Copies of this chain bind each other. A is one copy, B any other.
Amino acid sequence: MAKTTGRLHRRTLARLRSELAELMRTVRHLRAAAALLSWDQETQMPAKAADSRARHLATLEGLIYRELTSSRARRLAERLTAVLPHLPDRDQRMARLFLREFHRAAAVPQSFAERLAYTQAMAVDSWRYARQENDFYLFAPYLQQLVQLKREQAEYYGYTEHPYDALLELYEPGMRLSTVRPLLEHVVQRMRELLQWVQQHERPRILLPPVSCTAQFILGRHLCTTIGFDLERGRVDYSAHPFSTAIAANDVRITTRCSEQDPRMCVYSLLHELGHALYDQNIPAELADTFAGEGASMGIHESQSLLWEDIIGRSLAFCRWSLPLWRYYSVGAGSSAWERVTAEQLFRALNSVEPSLIRTEADEVTYHMHILLRLELEEALLMGKLRVKELPEAWNAGMERLLGIRPPDDRTGCLQDIHWSLGDFGYFPSYSLGKLYAAMFWKRLRQDIPDVDESIAQGDFEPILTWLRRHIYGVGALETPEEILHRVTGERLSADAFVDYITDKLRLVYSDAL
């Protein structure tokens, strides 16, 4: 009897595996096509193609939806659910990833999925125009529609505590507003104290000499490829808003933007996207066509971008390695000025702390105030406590409350981020969570590789990459964020490692010894 069951089980398992693999492959390939259409939209697409592109993307979304809600998918979901506890661990994890997507798709009608995709694609265009024209009210009607759609989406998905949880779940599986909000408020409280300390220890501001945009781009690309970004398996381009996209593990594309005034922007945007890209380029090939062939969550993904951009990229060791490259690539106006910059000055310039208007340019301390503001506003919009037309004023008031500064216009205020236009409500907390994860990973990595600073100062990033491959990249999304964090650090999520890391760093930045 056991023998027969065993044989039957093996055959059943093989069939389930192959059906699951085929379904996931189709969805992943459709998503790859959509990812390319979106990348092209940001980097190559002719100006007047926005509408047709939006409709093409909506059709692909619709097909993914159809794939995930087909009778075949439904039957597979039923059978997987029935045998779930009896599946081998890896199959069980894969099945859970599929079931999560299946339930998400099955929860909303196709017309809703298509409406959401279309509205998002149109909204992003309108956001771009509104931002260019510096007028929130050109974007407001689309935002209004998106807020309404997001409310509906939360109801379709369902939640136990708060509608916002249903959206958070999309980016950070298992996370709740009741966890992330107090955590973020705690971080912000500690950062306010730190900001006060910094303001008491003010030192003259260091301005980096100018570097031409072309040179910034080439320098940034040089840093990325030296660290480990493979240009035969990816690209670097310009776009209005820097991003990273994985069309395939062998086709990972990052973008950046540039400011002649602030040469840090281009390079550190690239180092940020590099962190995402290294993650995506290093996920095992055998996971590529499965739902495990991507990052474990947005928070874990952001932990990788912030690890490279901030923790490694803004370290004194990194400045020691990269300063000669800044000098090498700075030709023309700023060239001789760069000869006089020291690694310590570069370190201080990269880590100066000061309240500012733009999130993506904020320092590591005030960054979390930007995130808390967005979390509060998202929650208020979603719950109807705030009306869309009141957003600019609420934004500006929040900036004054949290950072003591007030945006002079929409462009530097509530129009600065692309996220809402993409329908990404619930995404912003991932950035702060990512920083907390990153600091916890980094603490563990330093214990495992005590001489990591010397490696960085010598431009040898292989020890770090080897560690990341082994501990983070290798599992793709087979483990949950919580599992990864616990396996790697032995601890549960907390702000301690981050607070320690940033306090130590700022003591150094603002010390007289430097």
Asked if A33 CB lies within 8 Å of chain B CBs, one says: yes
- A25 contact set on B, CB distance < 8 A: 59
CB–CB A251/B26 < 8 A = no
Given known contacts A63-B63, A250-B46, is B29 in contact with A56 (CB within 8 Å)?
yes
Asked if A449 CB lies within 8 Å of chain B CBs, one says: no
Asked if A368 CB lies within 8 Å of chain B CBs, one says: no
Q: In the assembled complex, how far is the CB of residue A199 from the closest CB belonging to chain B, in whole angstroms? A: 46
A59 and B60 alpha carbons, distance in the complex (Å): 12
A44 and B36 alpha carbons, distance in the complex (Å): 11
- A231 contact set on B, CB distance < 8 A: 46
CB–CB B288/A47 < 8 A = no
Query: Pick the contact of A37 from B33, B234, B288 — CB < 8 Å?
Result: B33
Query: Pick the contact of A45 from B45, B48, B251 — CB < 8 Å?
Result: B251
A478 and B247 alpha carbons, distance in the complex (Å): 36
Interface string of A22-56 (1 = CB under 8 A from B): 00011001101110110010001111110111011
Interface string of A46-77 (1 = CB under 8 A from B): 11110111011001101100000000000000
Given known contacts A250-B49, A251-B53, A288-B52, is B60 in contact with A29 (CB within 8 Å)?
yes
Q: In the assembled complex, how far is the CB of residue A47 from the closest CB belonging to chain B, in whole angstroms? A: 5
A247 and B26 alpha carbons, distance in the complex (Å): 22
CB–CB B248/A52 < 8 A = yes
- A235 contact set on B, CB distance < 8 A: 44, 46
**Chain A residue total in the interface (Cβ 8 A):** 38
Asked if A232 CB lies within 8 Å of chain B CBs, one says: yes
CB–CB A47/B249 < 8 A = no
- A56 contact set on B, CB distance < 8 A: 29, 32-33, 247-248
Asked if A233 CB lies within 8 Å of chain B CBs, one says: yes
- A30 contact set on B, CB distance < 8 A: 59, 63
CB–CB A44/B46 < 8 A = no
A26 and B114 alpha carbons, distance in the complex (Å): 12
Q: Which residue of B lies closest to A231 (CB)?
A: B46
CB–CB B46/A32 < 8 A = no
A249 and B235 alpha carbons, distance in the complex (Å): 27
Identify 6 new A-B residue pairs, CB closer than 8 A, beyond the known A45-B251, A46-B250, A48-B251.
Answer: A33-B36, A33-B56, A46-B233, A46-B234, A47-B233, A49-B233
Q: Give 24 CB contacts A-B under 8 Å.
A: A26-B62, A26-B63, A29-B60, A30-B59, A30-B63, A32-B52, A33-B60, A36-B36, A36-B37, A36-B40, A40-B40, A44-B44, A45-B251, A46-B231, A46-B233, A46-B251, A48-B230, A48-B251, A49-B247, A49-B250, A52-B248, A52-B249, A53-B251, A56-B247
